[in-house]
């Protein structure tokens, strides 16, 4: 008889008959390792890409803010004894290359002999796509003071812009229409005659004065209320009225305090001596600035 077919060991049989067994796992292990390695590389590259992207975004954001603003040298700012502020409805990025043009336009509007307009700062405003602009007026040449006549004309021009008696006109296609004009500093102080008052040369002699811890902007905005409260506090006759002029010694429309100088006029002629005495008694006997509303006018 022939030899019988040799029998394979039992465990070998099981390996061949069970394709899902350990032998198959051992055969697939290199592929699984390769797959895991591939996935790790993908995750690593993905994380690296995200990190680079975030760094780029941060860099661009930082670059944007670092580039799109302007500040003049401190030496120039300190020399500008006249400074003013306004807003433009344009983003900083569109203005940063137009500084010379902006200086030219402002100088064309309010320029005076022996002086030059310089932009001191351009910063992003709190409101989106709006820009805060601060400019100064320097003597030209810088080592000489602005002559008194030019300074007087400049003071009148800036006060007119603040009270909106005139407008600051710039190249509209580039800068739009300026708004919120304020005077920040003017050597020698500034005096504002609010609306509804006659010109300074027509005002009669100052009858009395007092100090308020408000700024010129507050007085301008609330002048009608101030006028009515003064008229009531002085107990004026129907044919009498009060006129005021308001001064800030630092030359700022935003910084307190202010000095209010008041005059009383009559439509039927000059005030008689007896009437002046009555008004003086009323003023001296009044407590805290003629009874002005302290919630509005801080005495």
Lowest mean pLDDT across 52-61, 209-218, 260-269:
52-61
Task: Give the residue, 284 or 259, on which the prediction is more confident.
Answer: 259
Q: Mean per-residue pLDDT for 69-89?
A: 95
Per-residue pLDDT at 91 exceeds 90:
yes
Given a cut of 80, whether residue 20 has pLDDT beyond it is no
pLDDT of residue 294 exceeding 80: no
Q: Of 237, 153, 229, 159, which Cα lies nearest the Cα of 194?
A: 159
Residue 235 pLDDT exceeds 80: yes
Q: Which residue would you say has higher pLDDT here, 117 or 129?
A: 117
CA distance 51 to 59: 12
Checking if the pLDDT of 3 tops 60, the result is no
pLDDT at 277 > cutoff 50? yes
Higher pLDDT, 34 or 113: 113
Of the options 3.40.50.970, 3.40.30.10, 3.40.190.10, 3.30.70.3310, the CATH number for the domain spanning 70-187: 3.30.70.3310
Give the model confidence (pLDDT) of 263-273 as tens digits.
898 888 888 88
pLDDT of residue 65: 45
C-alpha triplet 74, 116, 174: angle, nearest 5°? 90
Query: How does residue 140 score in pLDDT terms, banded at 50, 70 and 90?
Result: confident
How far is Cα 254 from Cα 218, in angstroms, rounded to an integer? 8
Predicted pLDDT at 164: 93
pTM assigned to the model: 0.74
Top pLDDT among 63 and 30 is at: 30
Domain ranges of the chain: 70-187, 191-291
Between CA 64 and CA 272 the distance in angstroms is 68
């Amino acid at each position: 008889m022939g030899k019988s077919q040799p029998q394979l060991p039992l465990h070998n049989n099981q390996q061949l008959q069970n394709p899902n067994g350990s032998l198959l796992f051992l055969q697939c292990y290199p592929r699984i390792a390769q797959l895991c390695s591939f996935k790790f590389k993908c995750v690593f590259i993905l994380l690296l890409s995200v990190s680079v992207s975030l760094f780029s975004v941060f860099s661009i954001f930082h670059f944007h803010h670092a580039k799109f603003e302007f500040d003049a040298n401190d030496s120039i700012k300190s020399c500008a004894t006249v400074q003013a502020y306004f807003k433009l409805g344009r983003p900083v990025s569109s203005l940063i290359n137009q500084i010379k043009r902006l200086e030219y336009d402002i100088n064309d509007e309010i320029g005076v002999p022996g002086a030059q307009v310089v932009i001191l700062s351009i910063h992003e405003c709190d409101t989106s796509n709006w820009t805060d602009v601060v400019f100064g007026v320097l003597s030209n040449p810088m080592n000489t003071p602005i002559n008194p006549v030019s300074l007087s004309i400049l003071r009148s021009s800036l006060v007119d812009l603040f009270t909106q008696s005139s407008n600051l006109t710039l190249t509209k296609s580039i800068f739009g229409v300026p708004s919120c004009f304020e005077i920040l500093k003017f050597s020698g102080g500034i005096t504002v005659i609010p609306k509804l008052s006659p010109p300074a040369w027509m005002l009669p002699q100052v009858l009395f004065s007092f100090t308020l811890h408000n700024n010129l902007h507050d007085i301008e905005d609330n002048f009608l209320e101030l006028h009515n409260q003064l008229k009531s506090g002085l107990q004026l006759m129907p044919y009498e009225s009060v006129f005021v002029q308001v001064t800030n010694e630092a030359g700022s429309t935003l910084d307190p305090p202010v000095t209010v100088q008041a005059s009383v006029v009559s439509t039927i002629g000059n005030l008689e001596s007896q009437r002046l005495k009555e008004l003086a008694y009323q003023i001296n006997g009044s407590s805290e600035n003629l009874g002005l509303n302290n919630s509005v006018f801080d005495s």
